[in-house]
Amino acid sequence: MGKSPLPFMTMTDLQRQSLQTPMTVLALNGSLRAGSFNGHALAAAEILAPHGMSMEFSCCTGIPLFNEDEERLGIPPVVELLGDRIRSANGLVIASPEYNFSISGVLKNTIDWLSRLPSRPLKGKPVAILSATAGAFGGARHQYELRKVLLGLDALVLQRPEVLIGNCRAKFDENGNLTDAATQQAIASAMQAFAAWISLLESGSSAVTTDAATHIALAV
């Protein structure tokens, strides 16, 4: 996916920083809808990410409903592939809508399958969360529930800044471009913080353990 300037804000305005060490982040969309606003948010995150951070994209399409009978026959190849992509990436960015005060069904199902992989791809993985919703709260309740699930799987979730894109229909144009300057700045700040979070966790410091990292994230 090629990068193109966003309307109303230049790269200079956003003061995008350059990373000393390049990194790759996997972006996972928790919506199956064509033209998903969360997909648009991830596309904006790619544009607004620091120089040196590249993004690859994935979704929950094609992943069957979790069933232990199916699991006994073998983990679906699509789940194995997603697990491999998560493991090989420096970090994971998840964007998803909020359905009925919680996580989208397809995203939770995907995480349930990933949790069954012996390699535990989410363990120790830096994760950032975005959400876009038509309502005013921007997916805050979904993010709370998702953070709990990821904590249980030992993922290392960036706590601040939060990106909650409420009233999303007014913030993207008909082509899916993010046109709201405040939201552009919020995503740019979050991606810069995420790059710093990844770098901290990859620094090799013996003080950064799975337990301690959750608390360190609050200060990033």
Task: Give pLDDT tens digits for 37-95.
Answer: 999 999 999 999 999 999 999 999 999 999 999 999 999 999 999 999 999 999 999 99
Domain membership flag for residue 13: no
Domain that holds residue 156: 23-219
Q: Is the pLDDT of residue 161 over 80?
A: yes
Domain membership flag for residue 3: no
Number of domains, the chain: 1
What CATH number corresponds to the domain at position 46?
3.40.50.360
Task: Give pLDDT tens digits for 112-128.
Answer: 999 999 999 999 999 99
Domain membership flag for residue 1: no
Task: Decide: 27 and 45 in contact? Cβ < 8 Å.
Answer: yes
Domain membership flag for residue 5: no
Domain membership flag for residue 79: yes
Domain membership flag for residue 47: yes
The Cα–Cα gap between 14 and 127 comes to 23
Domain membership flag for residue 12: no
Q: Is the pLDDT of residue 3 over 90?
A: no
- Please state the pTM of the whole predicted model: 0.86
Domain membership flag for residue 10: no
Task: Decide: 11 and 188 in contact? Cβ < 8 Å.
Answer: no
Segment 9-37 mean pLDDT? 82
